[in-house]
Homo-oligomer: A and B are copies of this chain.
Amino acid sequence: MTTINSETEQKILRAAMQIFSIEGFKGARMQEIADKAGINKALLHYYYRNKETLYKASFDTLTFKIFTQVNLTLHKDTPLFTKIENIVAAYIDLIVETPEVPQFILNGIINNQDELIKNMQELPLDIKPFMQQIQNEILKGNIKPIHPAELLINILSLSIFPFAARPVITNVVGKNIEFNFDEFIKSRKKTIPEFIINAIKVEK
């Protein structure tokens, strides 16, 4: 490859991320990925020695994108409540843009790709400043005592889970009432931060 990231390589990566997300590691076929990328199997192996290599490249690309994004939001010097809004919005936008992300990550976990998870430790995500900010707000009496890690996990849970569980949600809820998932997600950018802020803020 002449350039560090040739166009073809990008096409392959994009295709691989999609197929792996939907099919999982074992379920994905190299032929299918090649087809989706608009190339052939031989060229696929020309760029990526084997399935593992391709999978790892896909996983790394996605996680790096997410972690960088989240890390950026966490480090910006904004008031806590605004920051919470930003984190939620960043997550939701990211997932709407590339809906395969949560499935892919969870699939990576499920397939017990321990190595991959270990590699995530190398990724840029430093939650200490955010945790410090929360501690400060607690000390100042602005929010109720809560473990900073727990607050972060709650934010992630509320933002990500509905995407992973989408089919179950639409079926179970839709069975009972009128329900439009896309509208629901749109509204969540507002309702999640509201929910969280209500949960932690101290009435004065």
> Which A residues have a C-beta under 8 Å from some C-beta of B?
21-27, 103, 105-107, 109-112, 114, 117-118, 120-121, 125-128, 131, 144, 146-147, 149-150, 152-154, 156-158, 160-162, 164-169, 171-173, 175-177, 179, 184, 191, 195-196, 198-200, 203
Cβ–Cβ contact B117 & A168, under 8 A: yes
Among A144, A168, A169, max chain B CB count under 10 A is at: A168
Which chain B positions have C-beta within 8 A of A164?
106, 109, 161, 164
Q: Report the Cα distance A161→B150, complex, angstroms.
A: 12
Q: Report A69 CB to chain B, min CB distance, Å.
A: 14
A contacts with B: majority SS: helix
* B171 close to A165 (CB less than 8 A): no
Enumerate chain B residues within 8 angstroms of A195, measured Cβ to Cβ. Answer: 146, 154, 199-200
Copies per complex of this chain: 2
Instruction: Give the docked Cα–Cα distance between A88 and B154 (Å).
Output: 14
Give 16 pairs: A residue, B residue, CB < 8 Å, sorted on A: A22-B111, A105-B168, A106-B110, A109-B165, A110-B110, A121-B171, A131-B177, A146-B195, A149-B173, A149-B176, A153-B173, A154-B195, A158-B158, A160-B161, A196-B199, A198-B199
Inter-subunit contact B167/A128 (CB<8 Å): no
Q: Is the CB of A179 within 8 A of B23?
A: no
Given A107-B110, A157-B157, A162-B153, residue A23 in contact with residue B22 (CB < 8 A): no
Contacts A26-B24, A110-B107; A120 near B199 (Cβ below 8 A)? no
Q: Do residues A158 and B154 form an inter-chain contact, with CB atoms below 8 A?
A: yes
Q: A105 → chain B, closest Cβ, in Å?
A: 7
